[in-house]
Chains A and B, each alone.
Chain A
Amino acid sequence: DAGVTQSPTHLIKTRGQQVTLRCSPISGHKSVSWYQQVLGQGPQFIFQYYEKEERGRGNFPDRFSARQFPNYSSELNVNALLLGDSALYLCASSQRTGGYEQYFGPGTRLTVT
């Protein structure tokens, strides 16, 4: 079975630009969560979506937004990029919301110059 997939793998953007990251969960999983990981730290929670509805939001500015589609795939959008947005963006898939196991995709490495 395919695991969580994310695209693109790497991305280089300029300050002020906008970026869209994509994620496809494991087949049968209905919940997608997004995390940001900067070097040397654990992942930080950004959003969780379940059945196309936002179930939770972390402490990130409104420049960050996301959505989930009927096929349970998800997009994370970041507007007005800052240098500090450079990080590994991880998508995690779980069967449903709640304390279920979350499986991470390979991530998208975003570099803002």
Chain B
Amino acid sequence: QKEVEQNSGPLSVPEGAIASLNCTYSDRGSQSFFWYRQYSGKSPELIMSIYSNGDKEDGRFTAQLNKASQYVSLLIRDSQPSDSATYLCAGTLGGTSYGKLTFGQGTILTVHP
């Protein structure tokens, strides 16, 4: 089992819809989780961080963390074509106190007009 696993893509949604991206992790000791957006040919850009159970909202983005079920999700409301990118889920897994990020393989999101 991969340490951080993202739902297989690609994911295609119409403009204005809600895009839902999911991620599971294997280590119950994991502490911090992050969502990055990566446009083709560019480096990852941090869009959300979440450290405790529950929801965290920032504009059109909502991150959800459920440590009991070991999953993290990202909701993008009112999706726009400019949201089309690869979304990477990352966590600092238990046993690495220095904060090494372990990434999932990424989910490609396409928002079509």
Interface residues of A (CB under 8 A from B): 31, 33, 35, 40-45, 48, 50, 55-56, 58, 88, 90, 92, 94, 97-107
Contact = CB atoms under 8 A, between A and B. Distances in A.
Interface stretch (B40-48, B56-64, B76-84): B40-48
A36 to B, nearest CB: 11
B70 interface: no
Interface of B: 4, 31-32, 34, 36, 42-46, 49, 51, 88, 90, 92, 96-106
Contacts of A103: 46
B49 A56 contact: no
Contact of B101 (A45, A55, A97): A45
Given A33-B101, A48-B99, A56-B100, A42 B88 contact: yes
B101 to A, nearest CB: 6
Contact of A94 (B45, B90, B96, B99): B99
A102 to B, nearest CB: 6
B103 to A, nearest CB: 3
Contacts of B88: 42-43
A99 B43 contact: no
Contact of B51 (A31, A33, A45, A99): A99
Contacts of A97: 97-99
Contact of A105 (B32, B43, B96, B106): B43
18 contacts: A31-B99, A41-B105, A42-B88, A42-B103, A42-B105, A48-B98, A55-B98, A58-B100, A90-B43, A90-B44, A94-B99, A97-B97, A97-B99, A98-B97, A98-B99, A99-B92, A104-B45, A106-B43
Ranked 3 nearest A-B pairs via Cβ:
A42-B103, A99-B32, A55-B98
B90 A56 contact: no
A45 B46 contact: no
B102 A45 contact: yes
A18 B45 CA distance: 29
A42 B99 CA distance: 16
